[in-house]
Amino acid sequence: MSAPFRIDLRDVSTFPTRRDEAWRWSDFRRVVSSPAAPAPEIAAPEPGGPFAAIEASETAFANGRLPDGDATAYLTLDGGVHRLRFVTQADASGWQAGVRILVPDGASVVLLETYESSGGAYVANAALTFHLEDGASLERIVLMDEPADAVSVSTATVELKPGARFAQTVVATGARLQRHETHLEHPGQGVEVRMDGLYLLDGSRHADLTTVLTHTGGGETRQMCKGVVTGQARAVFQGKIEVRPGADGTDARMRHDALLLSDRAEVDAKPELEIYADDVQCAHGNTVGALDDEALFYIRSRGVPEVEAKILLTQAFVGEVVDRIGFEPAREIVGPWVAQRLEALV
């Protein structure tokens, strides 16, 4: 599962099923059983989206199309803040789009990537590639806010040159099936990687955060994924860290912690280590459980009512992921955005 599955919405034989190990908990073909009709052309959206308050340049796809009709964007980002938006207004149809992003030598960029829709049972398939040159730095913040009927897959591959820094925070609220997948090759040589995720799911939503990190030359990776799941929702976390022969000095830490608030909800996790070098320090931790009864009692014994106490604890639980967002203006938008959805969940 080192290379991502290439789904072509026109060809059912490319649709993964649960018999494909990398898709064992997210059966794509079960929810999309026939080729998707092309989504209609729609007008380009007004600039903005969830991150409208932040001054930034913008690339927006409307049903998978750029304003000039192309389905692939080639972006060279040499600094500042850029919004990348995937806006969908479609039903019983789909789109696929590609984005290739280059961050040149020494450039430092923030990418605010959003998946937006006002509703509809669409199928979306976005494929992104990131290429960071020497000493380049990219912080990628992804908000996936899609309708409960939608199927949405976003797959990214990341290539890093020496001294590059890549940080990612994905916030997913699920859909009928929503999958965010990242494949990253870590060459060591001063590269730093942070790979965070957060999911907040209710109803019968399904979100799948999958990451495959390959260390080829040592170096450091930090990964923290958290989630809160209620109703009949289902969360999937698959995190794989592979350390190739010779990647000595690798120091990789992965954590996944999930809160299950309902007996009909489900969390499936596979935190995986595949190590072929000996001078390494790798660790992963995984917990799935309910809110801590004792902590809940402690807070209530100080006079805080049950629902508020639960909100306080869940906010604290997910807050750690939000706090790791480096770009403060984005953190200040994501924080309340997450808090609002959490209150609806608890």
Considering only 120-128, 189-197, 213-221, 271-279, which stretch makes contact with another protein by CB under 8 A?
271-279
For residue 287, what are its two tokens?
A: 């917990």
78 interacts with another protein by CB under 8 A: no
8 interacts with another protein by CB under 8 A: no
20 interacts with another protein by CB under 8 A: no
Smallest separation (angstroms) from another protein to the CB of 340: 18
Binders in 310-339 for another protein, by CB under 8 A: 312-313, 315-317, 319-320
Based on CB atoms, which residue is closest to another protein, 66 or 275?
275
288 interacts with another protein by CB under 8 A: yes
Which helix (DSSP H) or strand (DSSP E) does residue 139 occupy? strand 137-145
285 interacts with another protein by CB under 8 A: yes
What are phi and psi for residue 87, nearest 5 degrees? -105, 130
298 interacts with another protein by CB under 8 A: yes
CA atoms of 82 and 88, how far apart (whole Å)? 19
Considering only 38-46, 117-125, 192-200, 275-283, which stretch makes contact with another protein by CB under 8 A?
275-283
Of the candidates 2, 5, 268, the one whose C-alpha atom is nearest the C-alpha of residue 125 is: 5
**Among the listed residues 6, 276, 336, 340, the single contact to another protein using CB under 8 A:** 276
Smallest separation (angstroms) from another protein to the CB of 314: 10
Q: Which residues contact 100 (CB under 8 A, 6 or more apart)?
A: 72, 73, 74, 75, 128, 129, 131
53 interacts with another protein by CB under 8 A: no
Based on CB atoms, which residue is closest to another protein, 91 or 251?
251
Residue 298 CA, distance from chain mean position: 34
Binders in 231-270 for another protein, by CB under 8 A: 245-246, 248, 258, 260-270
Q: Which residues contact 317 (CB under 8 A, 6 or more apart)?
A: 226, 228, 257, 259
How far apart, in Å, are the Cα atoms of 91 and each of 32, 109, 266, 316? 13, 34, 28, 37
Of the candidates 32, 23, 33, 19, the one whose C-alpha atom is nearest the C-alpha of residue 1 is: 23
Residues that bind another protein (CB under 8 A): 21, 245-246, 248, 258, 260-290, 292-295, 297-306, 308-309, 312-313, 315-317, 319-320
